[in-house]
Amino acid sequence: MASDLTIEDAYREWAGDLVRYATVLVGPSDAADLVADAFASVLARGHDSWVVVQEPRRYLFRTVLNVARMRERGRRRRERREVPQWHPPVDGGLLYDPSIQRAVNALSVQQRATIYLAYWEDLRPADVAAILHISEGAVRRQLALRLGRIEKGHGQERSRPD
């Protein structure tokens, strides 16, 4: 049996419980944002999706967990990508590597947009292709070629524009 509870009512009733749960998952500074993102994802699915939920409280706890997992995956991906751009800590801080910036600046605007959308926004190649109005194959090719150039070349300039 589906619940007659609205999403707004569910938020008013369980937000506190969900924030406490999220605090265990991601810490106190990000817990409220995590719950807000979870409710936003439920709202994005639409009213028809919500009205068929059998156990709304359990559903919301599972949604908070899934959003936390997605954030963690994104954080790990960003860490793996960003590590080559920084030198090891010298005095407790990280040093910026200007050769990486030169290599990125050598890319076309579209290539930079492709890399940004795929790696910093964690979008799939199909989503990047839709945003940039190019083929998914072009996105994959640009990512493979350009990231290889950035990681290996550290500032090698292009001889011709792509």
- pLDDT tens profile 130-160: 988 899 999 998 888 766 655 555 444 443 3
CATH classification number, 97-153, choose in 2.60.40.3120, 3.30.910.20, 3.40.50.80, 1.10.10.10? 1.10.10.10
**What span, in angstroms and rounded, lies between the C-alpha atoms of 32 and 38?**
10
Reported in sequence order, the residue ranges of 18-153 that DSSP labels E, i.e. its strands, are 86-87, 95-96
The two structure tokens encoding residue 151: 């990681």
**Residue range 21-57, pLDDT digits in tens:** 999 888 999 999 999 999 999 999 988 889 899 999 9
pTM equals 0.53
**What span, in angstroms and rounded, lies between the C-alpha atoms of 60 and 35?**
9
